[in-house]
């Protein structure tokens, strides 16, 4: 909770990150700096230990850049995004946005921050109020900032054009749109105030493959046109590689690897990232067979290394192997009980969002 505590945990987590952070990260001027961020939810029940979701995470995003944040369920990736937006309780560390401290922003500071920091959520079906017309949804962030009348109307028309939706969409309800179109509405809402940073929380993982391609194109085009920065959160290494300049890999509340997108996603150094890469299947039977073999070899090698090292440690090689599957429940399914049983295993949003 205190800075000292955070600093204590820091070296272990940033060791891998520091090596990769080098060149590109410092080339652009930093827009967002997150320093040893900690998030913990109070434990359920009397005298329960708080669940530590993030254990001192540091990231940095330059203007006009994209940081890909990759991890599996329970890694804390969604929580990190929510903490930036003020939707998760920060218990330690510091968030600096555009030169100002945004760690514990009040509601009025949040209102000011919302001009520069916006969000696109994963599920396009629950991120838009089903009872509101698209026009009203897009007007919401404008109204909060005191923009109304013809100015708002003009801006909404611009936004619809920018995300490739017909201009008559304003009088339609979200349910009249497909998943991809809804996600376009959500992107338009995020763009309404011309933000400097958009936190994208798994924005394409609920979409079909071909829809995903079109939405990714849209993200890229918008960045090229407006110079907005993205924090792009995803479980999919391929998606992150495609859209990011740099990538950070999150594993159980710690960043285990950080570096340029190409390097981290094609030639990872940390064993976990390696496993993650080799686990993702490729669309060719022969190359996939090769990848399978490599993965098997890596796991066998790790197990052999663990077998000698872990005898004194808790559990054993076998337990550890199963923990790899047990700890990371299915992505977005309801494994709250099992997941929360181990520290850092209950990523609040992932558990709730389903």
Partner 1 sequence: MTSATRSAGQTGEVVRPNTLRRLLRNPLGLISIIVLGVLLILAIIGPWIAPYSQTHADIAASLAGPSADHLLGTDSPGRDVLSRLLFGTQLTIFSGLLCAAVAIAIGLPSGLLAGYYGGWFDSVAGWAGNMLMSLPGIVVLLAVRAALGPSVWISMIIFGVLLSPGYFRLTRTAVQSVRNELYVDAARVAGLSDGRIIARHIFSVVRAPIIIQTAIVTGVAISIQAGLQFLGLGDPGEASWGAMVNEGFKNIYVAPGLIVPPIVMIGLTIGALVLLANALRDALEDGQKVSRKRRLTDIATGAVTMAMPVVKTGGSAERTAAPARGKRAAATVEAGTEHHLVKVTGLGVGYPQADGSTKHVVDDVSFHVDRGEVLGIVGESGSGKSQTAFSILGLLPDNAEIIAGSIQFDGKYTVEPGDTKVDQARVRPLRGKRIAYIPQEPMSNLDPNFTIGHQLARPLRVVMGMSKAAAKARAIELLGLVGIVDPARTYDLHPHEISGGMAQRVLIAGAISCEPDLIIADEPTTALDVTVQAEVLDLLRGLQKRIGMGIVLVTHNFGVVADLADRVLVMQAGHVVESGDVRQILRDPQNPYTRILLSAMLEGKEPMTMLTEVGRERAGARA
The interface with partner 1 within residues 209-248 (CB under 8 A) comprises 209-214, 216-218, 220-221, 224-225, 235-239, 241-244
- How many angstroms separate the CA atoms of 235 and 237, rounded? 6
Question: Closest separation between CB of residue 94 and partner 1, Å?
Answer: 20
Binds partner 1 by CB under 8 A, chosen from 278, 302, 346, 347: 278
Residues between 107 and 136 with contacts to partner 1, criterion CB under 8 A: 107-108, 110-114, 117-119, 121-123, 126-133, 135-136
**Which residue's CB is nearer to partner 1, number 18 or number 194?**
194
Interface characters, 10-39, with partner 1 (x: CB under 8 A): ------------------------------
Q: Is 63 helix (H, G, I), strand (E, B) or coil?
A: coil
Nearer to partner 1, 5 or 164 (CB): 164
What are the angstrom distances between the C-alpha of 261 and each of 66, 70, 237, 240?
A: 10, 11, 10, 8
Q: How far is the CB of 5 from partner 1 (least distance, A)?
A: 27
Contact between 297 and partner 1 per CB under 8 A: no
Tell me if 259 contacts partner 1 by CB under 8 A.
Answer: no
Residue 108 or 308 having the CB closest to partner 1: 108
- Residue 295 contacts partner 1 per CB under 8 A: yes
CA distance 318 to 312: 14
Residue 141 Cβ, how far from partner 1 at the closest point, in Å?
A: 4
Rounded to an integer, what distance in angstroms lies between the CA atom of residue 55 and that of residue 40? 8
Q: How far is the CB of 8 from partner 1 (least distance, A)?
A: 29
303 binds partner 1 (CB under 8 A): no
Nearer to partner 1, 3 or 318 (CB): 318
Q: How far is the CB of 133 from partner 1 (least distance, A)?
A: 4
Q: How far apart are CA 241 and CA 257, in angstroms?
A: 14
Binding window for partner 1 (CB under 8 A); candidates: 6-14, 20-28, 53-61, 321-329? 321-329
| Vertex 40 angle, CA 322 and 71, to 5° | 45
Integer CA distances (angstroms), 239 to 123, 267, 342, in order: 17, 16, 29
**Considering the rule CB under 8 A, would residue 141 count as an interface residue with partner 1?**
yes
CB-CB contact of 219 with 246 (8 Å) = no
Burial class (CB in 10 A: 0-12, 13-18, 19+), 127: buried
How many Cβ atoms from other residues are within 10 Å of residue 345's Cβ? 25
Does residue 143 interact with partner 1 by CB under 8 A? Answer: yes
Axis-axis angle for helices 179-191, 209-226 (nearest 10): 20
- Range 58-77, binding partner 1 (CB under 8 A): 72-73
Query: Residues 157-196 vs partner 1: string with x where CB under 8 A?
Result: -------x------x-x-xxxxxxx----x--x-------
Sheet holding 51-62, edge to edge: 51-62, 30-41, 90-97, 100-101
What DSSP element (H or E) covers 90? strand 90-97
For residue 46, the number of C-alpha atoms closer than 13 Å in the C-beta half-sphere is 0
């Amino acid at each position: 909770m205190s800075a000292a505590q955070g600093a204590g945990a820091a070296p272990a987590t940033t060791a891998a990150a520091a090596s990769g952070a080098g060149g590109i990260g410092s080339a652009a001027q930093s827009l967002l700096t997150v320093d040893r961020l900690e998030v913990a939810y109070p434990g359920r029940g009397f005298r329960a230990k708080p669940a530590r979701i993030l254990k001192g995470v540091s990231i940095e995003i330059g203007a006009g850049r994209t940081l890909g944040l990759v991890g599996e369920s329970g890694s804390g990736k969604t929580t990190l995004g929510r903490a930036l937006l003020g939707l998760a309780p920060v218990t330690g560390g510091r968030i600096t946005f555009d030169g100002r401290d945004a760690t514990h922003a009040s509601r009025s500071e949040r209102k000011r921050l919302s001009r520069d920091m916006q969000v696109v959520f994963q599920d396009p079906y629950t991120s838009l109020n089903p009872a509101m017309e698209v026009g009203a949804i897009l007007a919401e962030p404008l109204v909060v900032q005191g923009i109304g009348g013809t100015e708002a109307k003009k801006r909404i028309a611009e936004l619809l054009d920018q995300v490739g939706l017909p201009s008559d969409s304003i009088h339609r309800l979200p349910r009249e749109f497909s998943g991809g179109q809804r996600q376009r509405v959500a992107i338009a809402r995020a763009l309404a105030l011309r933000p400097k940073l958009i936190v994208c929380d798994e924005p394409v993982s609920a979409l079909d493959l071909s829809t995903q391609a079109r939405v990714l194109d849209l993200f890229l085009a918008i960045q090229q046109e407006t110079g907005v920065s993205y924090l792009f959160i995803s479980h999919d290494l391929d998606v992150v590689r495609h859209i990011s300049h740099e990538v950070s890999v999150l594993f159980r509340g710690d960043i285990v690897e950080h570096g340029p997108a190409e390097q981290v996603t094609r030639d990872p150094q940390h064993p976990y990232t390696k496993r993650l890469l080799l686990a993702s299947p490729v669309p060719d039977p022969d190359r996939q067979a090769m990848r399978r073999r490599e993965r098997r070899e890596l796991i066998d090698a790790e197990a052999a290394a663990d077998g000698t090292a872990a005898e004194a440690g808790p559990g054993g090689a076998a337990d550890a192997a199963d923990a790899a599957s047990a700890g990371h429940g299915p992505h977005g399914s309801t494994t709250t009980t099992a997941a929360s049983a181990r520290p850092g295993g209950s990523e609040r949003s992932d558990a709730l969002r389903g």
